[in-house]
C-alpha cells in the first residue's frame, strides 16, 4: 500500500468522474430548483453507475468519488453523499425485504434517501434525542416528535429515523427505523438555508412503525448512527478537498493572467507564496483523508480518531482555501454565479454537520486519553 499515492487506475477513474461531473451532471444541476431534490440529477447519478457503488465501494473509493464530483459539481456530490448517508443503514442493517425493496431503487436514483438524527434539542448531543417510539400493540410503535436540519427532507422517499425507545437511557435507548415518506402522520417543511442542497424539518404525529421497519435491534440504533458516521466522516473531508482543489485551480489560473502593477498578479511574491500555501494545505488535507479512509477499509483500530482528524482538518482547510481564493480574485469572486461565490456558500456547513469541528476535537482527545490509560505508558517520562 503506497503511503500515500493513488494507483494509475484510481487516478484515471478520478479524471473520468471529473469529466462526467462537468459534462453530464453540471448541466442537470444548473436546472435544479433551490431547496428541492433534483430528481433528474439523482437519476443521472444512477445511470452513470455511481449510486450502486455506494454499496460496493470501500471508504477510499467513496472519498475519491466525493472529491472528484465536488471538484466539478458540488450539487451532484451532495446528492450522491445523501443517498449513501440515508441508505447505508439499510444496506448494513436492513432486513432482506427492506434491502430488496429499497436498495435497487436508491441505486437507480428512483428513490431518494435521508438520514434523520438531529432534533431541535439534540444536535451535537445526539444521544439526547427525544422523538418518542411509544409501544403500540405487540410488534409496533408510534413515532411522535420532530426532526430538523434533515437534508433531502421533506422530499425524500424514505428516512432512516432514530427514535427513543427507552426513556432516560441516553445512547442505549435509541432505535433506528426505516420510515417510508408516505406513512400516515409524517409531514415536513423545507428550510431556507445558506447551503445549496435541500434541507427541512420532519413532524411525526403518531406515525405507525412495526418490527418490519427496524434497522438493527431495538435500543441499538445509536450504533447504527455512529457506524454510518464513521464511514462518512472521512468522505466529508474528501468533499471539502474537492472544493479546495477547485478553488485553488481557479486561483492559479486567475493570478497567472490578471494584469496588475505592470505585470501579472502572480509576479507579486506575496500572491504566489499564498497560492503555494493553499496548495500545501490542500495536499496535507487530502493525504489525511486518504489515510483515514484506508484505515477504515483495513479495519484499523484507530478509525474514530483518524476519521475525526480527517474531517476536521479537511473542512477547516477548505474554508481557509476558499476564503483566500476569494481574496485573490477580488470583487469578481463575490458576483452571484461565480464559482467561488458558490463554493463560499457550500464550504461553510461541513464544519457543522456530521459532528462540528469542536466535536471532532473532543473525539480525538477522548481517543488519545483512552490509549494512554489502556497501555503501559511508554512516553518520555517513563524512560526517565
Ligand X SMILES: Cc1cc2nc3c(=O)[nH]c(=O)nc-3n(C[C@H](O)[C@H](O)[C@H](O)COP(=O)(O)OP(=O)(O)OC[C@H]3O[C@@H](n4cnc5c(N)ncnc54)[C@H](O)[C@@H]3O)c2cc1C
Q: What are the catalytic residues?
A: 354
CB of 84 to ligand X, least distance (A): 11
Evaluate the CA torsion angle 120, 125, 126, 128 in order and state its sign: negative
Q: Which residues bind ligand X (CB under 6 A)?
A: 115-118, 123-124, 149-151, 193, 195, 199, 349, 352-353, 356, 358-359, 362
CB of 356 to ligand X, least distance (A): 4
Q: Report how far residue 29's alpha carbon sits from residue 40's, in angstroms, rounded to the nearest whole number.
A: 9
Q: Which is nearer to ligand X, 86 or 275 (CB)?
A: 86
As given in the structure block, the three cell numbers for residue 114 are: 435521508
Residue whose CB is nearest to ligand X in the complex, by number:
123
CB of 332 to ligand X, least distance (A): 26
Q: Which is nearer to ligand X, 124 or 327 (CB)?
A: 124
CB of 81 to ligand X, least distance (A): 10
Evaluate the CA torsion angle 172, 178, 182, 183 in order and state its sign: negative
Q: Which is nearer to ligand X, 118 or 319 (CB)?
A: 118
CB of 362 to ligand X, least distance (A): 5
Residue 134's beta-bridge partner residues?
142
Q: Which is nearer to ligand X, 15 or 128 (CB)?
A: 128
Evaluate the CA torsion angle 92, 95, 97, 101 in order and state its sign: negative
CB of 198 to ligand X, least distance (A): 10
In contact, 343 and 319? CB cutoff 8 Å: no
The residue whose grid cell reads 421497519 is 213
Q: Which is nearer to ligand X, 140 or 190 (CB)?
A: 190
Q: Where are the beta strands (DSSP E) in 244-366?
A: 259-260, 263-264
Q: Which is nearer to ligand X, 24 or 39 (CB)?
A: 39
In contact, 275 and 266? CB cutoff 8 Å: yes
User: For residue 384, is the peptide bond before it cis, meaning its omega torsion is within 30 degrees of 0?
Assistant: no
CB atoms under 10 Å from CB of 316, counted, come to: 18
| Of the candidates 133, 188, 118, 134, the residue with the CA atom closest to the CA atom of residue 157 | 188
How does strand 113-116 pair with strand 158-164? Answer: parallel
Amino acid at each position: 500500500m503506497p503511503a500515500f499515492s493513488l494507483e494509475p487506475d484510481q487516478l484515471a477513474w478520478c479524471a473520468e468522474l471529473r469529466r462526467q461531473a462537468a459534462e453530464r451532471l453540471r448541466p442537470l444541476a444548473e436546472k435544479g430548483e433551490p431547496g428541492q431534490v433534483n430528481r433528474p440529477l439523482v437519476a443521472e447519478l444512477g445511470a452513470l453507475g455511481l449510486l450502486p457503488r455506494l454499496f460496493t465501494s470501500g471508504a477510499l473509493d467513496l472519498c475519491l468519488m466525493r472529491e472528484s464530483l465536488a471538484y466539478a459539481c458540488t450539487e451532484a456530490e451532495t446528492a450522491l453523499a445523501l443517498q449513501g448517508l440515508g441508505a447505508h443503514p439499510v444496506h448494513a442493517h436492513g432486513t432482506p425485504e427492506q434491502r430488496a425493496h429499497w436498495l435497487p431503487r436508491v441505486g437507480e436514483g428512483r428513490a431518494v434517501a435521508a438520514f434523520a438524527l438531529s432534533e431541535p434539542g439534540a444536535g451535537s448531543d445526539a444521544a439526547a434525542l427525544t422523538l418518542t417510539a411509544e409501544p403500540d400493540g405487540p410488534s409496533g410503535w408510534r413515532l411522535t416528535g420532530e426532526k430538523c436540519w434533515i437534508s433531502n427532507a421533506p422530499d425524500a422517499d424514505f428516512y432512516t429515523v432514530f427514535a427513543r425507545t427507552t426513556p432516560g437511557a441516553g445512547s442505549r435507548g435509541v432505535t433506528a427505523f426505516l420510515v417510508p415518506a408516505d406513512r400516515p402522520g409524517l409531514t415536513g417543511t423545507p428550510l431556507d438555508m445558506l447551503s445549496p442542497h435541500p434541507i427541512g424539518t420532519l413532524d411525526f404525529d403518531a406515525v405507525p412503525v412495526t418490527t418490519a421497519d427496524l434497522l438493527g435491534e431495538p435500543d441499538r440504533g445509536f450504533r447504527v448512527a455512529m457506524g454510518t458516521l464513521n464511514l462518512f466522516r472521512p468522505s466529508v473531508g474528501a468533499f471539502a478537498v474537492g472544493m479546495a482543489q477547485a478553488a485553488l485551480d481557479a486561483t492559479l489560473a486567475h493570478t497567472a493572467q490578471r494584469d496588475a502593477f505592470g505585470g501579472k498578479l502572480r509576479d507579486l511574491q506575496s500572491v504566489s507564496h499564498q497560492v503555494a500555501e493553499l496548495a500545501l494545505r490542500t495536499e496535507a488535507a487530502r493525504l489525511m483523508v486518504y489515510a483515514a479512509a484506508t484505515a477504515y477499509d483495513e479495519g484499523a483500530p484507530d478509525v474514530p480518531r483518524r476519521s475525526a482528524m480527517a474531517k476536521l482538518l479537511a473542512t477547516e482547510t477548505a474554508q481557509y482555501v476558499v476564503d483566500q481564493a476569494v481574496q485573490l480574485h477580488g470583487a469578481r469572486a463575490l458576483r452571484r454565479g461565480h464559482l467561488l461565490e458558490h463554493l463560499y456558500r457550500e464550504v461553510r456547513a461541513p464544519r457543522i454537520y456530521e459532528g462540528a469541528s469542536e466535536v471532532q476535537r473532543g473525539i480525538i482527545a477522548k481517543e488519545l486519553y483512552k490509549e494512554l490509560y489502556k497501555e503501559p505508558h511508554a512516553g518520555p517520562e517513563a524512560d526517565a
